């Protein structure tokens, strides 16, 4: 099975900061990677698919990059609505999620 | 507007069964692969099962193989998850999610989830 590892597990940041999350796959998944945002009590929301394609309606401050085993999600300028937990997901072989990175207010 | 509405969760004893349903609306259900994903309280997301457009191709996570059965009724726009031999570790919020028409397994729409609690 393909394992997905996200780092860090928690990030503390302020409104306006640039934040980057990392996701590593245990083997190459090409670009078969998605990123989701989840707020407490809510279903996950798709942000990025195919590693770098922005889902319709998602603000352009979100961007994704990477291929193979190393991927990043960047928020260029944090907004108050962005404080949430972020998950990566590989869909190269079945599907596996990372354990999540919680973005907290500093 | 795309909507996915799950139901059927509840409290069940270990070894018991439940059948989850997910009613879809706002899109052509029969064109999309569908998935079940679960989230234990305070934990992360875990893929459970997927079914292709006509039900001819199905996959399960190893931890539910032989116990859970995914199915769909395209005439009723409904996805199901029959859950048997339930264990305490199956306690979770179960989401249904829509995949891509091509079968790429990222999920662009999710339901709000139905809570399954396995406890004596």
Amino acid A50: pLDDT: 96
CB-based contact B106 A34, cutoff 8 Å: yes
| Chain A residues with beta carbon closer than 8 angstroms to that of B113 | 43
Average pLDDT rounded to a whole number, residues A60-78? 98
Q: Chain B interface residues facing chain A, Cβ-Cβ under 8 Å? A: 35, 44-47, 50, 59, 61-62, 95, 104-108, 110-113
Q: Which of A39, A44, A2 is nearest to A23 (CA)?
A: A2
- Strand ranges, E, within chain A: 4-7, 10-13, 19-25, 33-38, 45-49, 53-54, 62-67, 70-75, 85-90, 96-97, 101-105
The length of chain B, given as a count of residues: 120
Give the residue from chain A lying closest to B108, CA to CA. Answer: A46
pLDDT digits (tens, 9 = 90+) for B42-84: 999 999 999 999 999 999 999 999 999 999 999 999 999 999 9
| Chain B residues with beta carbon closer than 8 angstroms to that of A49 | 104, 106, 108
How far apart CA B120 and CA B117 sit, in angstroms, is: 10
Q: Which residues pair with A21 in a beta bridge?
A: A73
Handedness of CA A75, A11, A3, B9 (dihedral sign): negative
Residues 6+ apart with CB under 8 A from B106: A34, A46, A49, A50, A89, A91, B99, B100
Residue for token pair 């072989």: A93
How far apart CA B36 and CA B20 sit, in angstroms, is: 10
pLDDT digits (tens, 9 = 90+) for B11-35: 999 999 999 999 999 999 999 999 9
pLDDT band at B96 (very low <50, low <70, confident <90, very high): very high
Residues 6+ apart with CB under 8 A from B75: none
A44–chain B nearest CA distance, Å:
7
pLDDT digits (tens, 9 = 90+) for A13-57: 999 999 999 999 999 999 999 999 999 999 999 999 999 999 999
B73–chain A nearest CA distance, Å:
23
Alpha helix segments (H runs only) across A1-87: none
CB-based contact B47 A97, cutoff 8 Å: yes
| Chain A residues with beta carbon closer than 8 angstroms to that of B110 | 43-45
Count of CB pairs separated by less than 8 Å, A with B: 53
| Chain A residues with beta carbon closer than 8 angstroms to that of B106 | 34, 46, 49-50, 89, 91
Whether B83 and B9 have beta carbons less than 8 Å apart is answered as no
How far apart CA A67 and CA A71 sit, in angstroms, is: 6
């Amino acid at each position: 099975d393909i394992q997905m590892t996200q780092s860090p597990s928690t990030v503390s940041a302020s409104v306006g900061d640039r934040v980057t999350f990392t996701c590593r796959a245990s083997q190459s998944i090409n670009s078969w990677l998605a990123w989701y945002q989840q707020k407490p009590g809510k279903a996950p929301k798709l942000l990025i698919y195919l590693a770098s394609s922005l889902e319709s309606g998602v603000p352009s401050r979100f961007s994704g990059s990477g291929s193979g085993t190393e991927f990043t999600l960047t928020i260029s300028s944090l907004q108050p609505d962005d404080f949430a937990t972020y998950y990566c997901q590989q869909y190269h072989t079945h599907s596996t999620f990372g354990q999540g990175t919680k973005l907290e207010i500093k | 507007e795309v909507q996915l509405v799950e139901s059927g969760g509840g409290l069940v004893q270990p070894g018991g069964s439940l059948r989850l349903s997910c009613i879809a609306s706002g899109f052509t259900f029969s064109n999309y692969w569908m998935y079940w994903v679960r989230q234990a309280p305070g934990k992360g997301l875990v893929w459970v099962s997927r079914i292709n457009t006509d039900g001819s191709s199905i996959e399960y996570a190893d931890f539910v193989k032989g116990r859970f059965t995914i199915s769909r009724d395209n005439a009723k726009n409904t996805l199901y998850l029959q859950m048997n031999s339930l264990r305490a570790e199956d306690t979770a919020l179960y989401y249904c999610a829509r995949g891509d028409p091509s079968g790429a397994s990222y999920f662009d729409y999710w339901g709000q989830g139905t809570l399954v609690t396995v406890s004596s």
